[in-house]
């Protein structure tokens, strides 16, 4: 074997051994890596609808849109060894409890919801430098939520919880006019014998540079919320362009 060939073969084996043995290293991203993602979803949910979906008691849900999570698209549980530590976000707890509450559990000290969001979604978002720690991930999510200010803008365009119904097309047009992009809106389908869907979730999409972009999706796409955080057996799906209920109370 020629000396040069032997050298490069040895170097290649060394690099492979180093890469395989370095379990804590940041992985290299590529188009084909299972943890690669191109789009972030900032997911708001309407607490009253969350309570409606839940089979158990759900008392006094907030009367404003709260954070469900910040989700890299189509990846989850990227690093199962990177466990949630509430001490890393202690400076954020006041805003976390207000804007990112566990709607289904009233204890202010409960952190299981945040633990779930970090370990399922945050560990994947952490491939981005701006989100590569627990404090950065939760802090940036709060920043994006407050900059979008969904609650205020909905009120400004005259869309508020009511006993009357809205046309979904009016809600879509209002949001697009405010933000300049198309969000993704999900509803509870009408109950048997009824014709009105119930708004439940609004997602805004961001690029890896954390800039707003249009949300794109398949018309048949839906999420089962219980798979993300035990909200109940009912299923949210992309809203139809029909009458929509924006409930003020459970």
pLDDT digits (tens, 9 = 90+) for 197-245: 999 999 999 999 999 999 986 655 555 444 465 555 468 999 999 999 9
Under the banding of pLDDT at 50, 70 and 90, the label for residue 32 is: very low
Cα 39 to chain centroid distance, Å, stands at 11
Give me the pLDDT at residue 235, please. Answer: 84
d(CA 52, CA 23): 43
d(CA 74, CA 37): 7
Rounded mean pLDDT, 58-76:
93
pLDDT digits (tens, 9 = 90+) for 93-147: 999 999 999 988 777 668 999 999 999 999 999 999 999 999 999 999 999 999 9
Under the banding of pLDDT at 50, 70 and 90, the label for residue 18 is: very low
203 is catalytic: no
Q: Which domains does the chain have, with CATH numbers?
A: 33-245 (3.90.730.10)
Give me the pLDDT at residue 41, please. Answer: 97
Tell me which of 44, 45, 119, 121 is the catalytic residue. 121
Average pLDDT, whole number, for the chain? Answer: 84
68 is catalytic: yes
Rounded mean pLDDT, 17-24:
37
d(CA 30, CA 41): 20
Tell me which of 117, 119, 203, 234 is the catalytic residue. 117
Residue 123 neighbours by CB under 8 Å, 6+ apart: 77, 78, 79, 80, 82
83 is catalytic: no
The whole-model pTM stands at 0.82
Tell me which of 68, 119, 203, 234 is the catalytic residue. 68
Q: How many CA atoms lie within 13 A of 157 on its CB side?
A: 17
């Amino acid at each position: 074997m020629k000396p040069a060939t032997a050298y490069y073969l040895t170097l290649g084996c060394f690099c492979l051994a180093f890469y395989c043995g370095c379990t804590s290293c940041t992985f290299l991203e590529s188009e084909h890596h299972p943890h690669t993602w191109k789009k972030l979803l900032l997911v708001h949910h309407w607490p009253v609808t969350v309570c409606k979906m839940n089979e158990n008691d759900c008392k006094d849900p907030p009367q404003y849109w709260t954070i469900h999570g910040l989700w890299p698209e189509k990846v989850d549980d990227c690093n199962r060894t990177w466990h949630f530590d509430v001490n890393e976000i202690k400076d954020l707890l006041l805003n976390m409890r207000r804007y990112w509450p566990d709607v289904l559990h009233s204890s202010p000290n409960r952190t299981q919801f945040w633990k779930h969001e970090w370990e399922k979604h945050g560990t994947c978002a952490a491939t981005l430098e701006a989100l590569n720690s627990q404090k950065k991930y939760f802090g940036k999510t709060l920043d994006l939520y407050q900059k979008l200010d969904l609650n205020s803008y909905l009120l400004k365009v005259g869309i508020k919880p009511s006993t009357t119904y809205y046309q979904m097309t009016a809600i879509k047009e209002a949001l697009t006019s405010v933000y300049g992009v198309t969000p993704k809106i999900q509803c509870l389908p009408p109950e048997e014998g009824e014709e009105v869907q119930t708004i439940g979730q609004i997602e805004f999409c961001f690029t890896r540079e954390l800039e707003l972009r249009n949300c794109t999706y398949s018309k048949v796409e839906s999420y089962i919320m219980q798979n993300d955080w035990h909200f109940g057996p009912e299923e949210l799906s992309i809203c139809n362009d029909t009458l929509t209920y924006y409930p003020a109370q459970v």
